[in-house]
Amino acid sequence: MTSSTPASVMGGRSLSSRPVFPNSKLKSVKPNLVGSTLVAVYIFLLTGRALDLSPLHVLHIPLLMLILLSITTISRGDLQHSFSDSMTRYFGLFTLWVIVCYPFSTWRYASLPSVQLQVQAFVIFLIIVQIIRSKRDYEKVAGAYAYAILVAALFSFHYGRNVEGRIALAGGTLGDPNEFALHLVLGLPFWWFKASRATGFRKAFFFACTLPIFYAFARAGSRSGLLALGVLFLITFIFAQGSKKVLLAVVALVGVASTTVFLPGYVQARFLTFFTPKEGAYDAATRERIESDIASSNERKALLMQSLSMTLHHPILGVGPGDFSFVAWDERKAETGIGGESLVSHNTYTQISSETGFPGFFLFLATVILGVRYSYTDFRRLSKTNPEIAQYGRYLFSALAALAVGIFFLSVGYTHLLGIMFAFTLAFRRMVASLEEP
């Protein structure tokens, strides 16, 4: 790494004392209408998964759009400007390290999909950062993300599949209830942002669009998603003004009360108990599922310890991207004679450390920390100089904080979700830099 060090991630000089991008060429930025529109459509299709549930999925439209956008991004040049920021370098070095780890993987065939997904995530990151150059570009792409999450929530009502009493989409990356719930949580701040800038009917409409998202989230029955949602509400509550704090408290109380009316008994028990079923409180089927949840929690603790042990035994290159579940099964089989199910680590941080070693872990962690730090510092600085644009940073910061907490309970280390959220952070930072140019 060049001038950036791990210490610069957590500290360093105040952002207000130096330009965000010293070599910025964005002194006069015009909206990139064609490029931002293509990115918005791509983000909508990739995140909403609408094509997964239609006959058009055989056309591989998102892949074709990714190729087109990659060519467009390369033809624009100026890639060195994106790599002038520490966040791009850390995320790029993490991607490079994933590729380096691949030849040394325990199971190279099993590692290949994870390597491909990480390369795709970084390409998506670069595309968004390169093409979003103005406030209008950012609003368009962020709006597409918000509508994509709404579409995913609405699809779950008709095309959702039942996963042991919980709801997720019929397939694809949103086929797991926990990942589905995290996507829904991350979409909420983008709708709140749209509502904060609207008035009258449009404001009411934008707030109404969050209702199916909340309902779909509740039906997913995700405990990790609930923690991410709690972080999201807490940050929003802290930075809200007096009257809005009261409104948020009322919304939270109404949401909790609504679960007793609209959700099945098992999902209520999953959310509203400490997973210790009282004798006679639930029917036999619900009691059995709750006991299964208790076993799942204990199982995740065991997987966490196993992933930490695997990290210590393979500290440099790890066991290979995407290989944790296979190596963990082999270890359990050798120790107890029973391998059981093939399970992921259920923790993105230890997933990365066990599969790519400490170098991959520190590069990934630095990227996450920079994402949270950038969004927070931009928001705090702009709150004094440009309150309107500061709203962008406030909602983005709440989303990044929820993401950092949510991935602690999921294995999503090589997914486009991270590439998109990191890119939103840096794109917002670049937009702020262009607005602050004389």
Asked whether 422 and 125 are in contact (CB, 8 A), the reply is: yes
Q: What is the DSSP string of 281-318?
A: TS-HHHHHHHHHHHHHHHHHHHHHHHHHHHHHHSTTT-
pLDDT at 126: 93
CB atoms within 10 A of CB 291: 13
Beta bridge partners of 31: none
Task: Return the structure tokens found at 2.
Answer: 């060049």
| Residues in the chain, overall count | 438
What is the token pair recorded at 149? Answer: 């999450």
- Sign (positive or negative) of CA dihedral 414, 415, 420, 421: negative
**Distance spanning both ends of the chain, measured CA to CA:** 30
- The total of other beta-carbon atoms located within 10 Å of residue 338's CB is 8
Q: Which two tokens stand for residue 49?
A: 């998964």
Q: How many CB atoms lie within 10 A of CB 216?
A: 25
Asked whether the whole model's pTM tops 0.75, one would answer yes
Residue corresponding to tokens 């105040």: 14
Tell me how far apart the alpha carbons of residues 12 and 323 are, in angstroms, rounded to a whole number.
37
Q: Residue 265's pLDDT is what? A: 54
Among the listed residues 70, 69, 74, 78, the one whose alpha carbon sits nearest the alpha carbon of residue 26: 78
What averages of pLDDT result for each successive group of 10 residues across the chain (438 residues)? Answer: 41 40 44 84 88 68 87 77 87 97 93 95 93 88 94 87 76 80 94 88 92 90 87 88 74 67 55 48 51 59 89 94 91 80 87 96 96 92 85 91 93 93 92 71
- Is residue 149 a contact partner of residue 186, using CB atoms and an 8 Å limit? yes
Q: What is the pLDDT of residue 26?
A: 39
Q: CA angle, corner 82, sides to 384 and 92, nearest 5? A: 115
Given a contact cutoff of 8 angstroms between Cβ atoms, the answer to whether 425 and 375 are in contact is: yes
- Closest C-alpha among 127, 129, 119, 137 to residue 70: 127
Residue written as tokens 């140019």? Answer: 437
Can you give the pLDDT at residue 48?
86
pLDDT at 387: 83
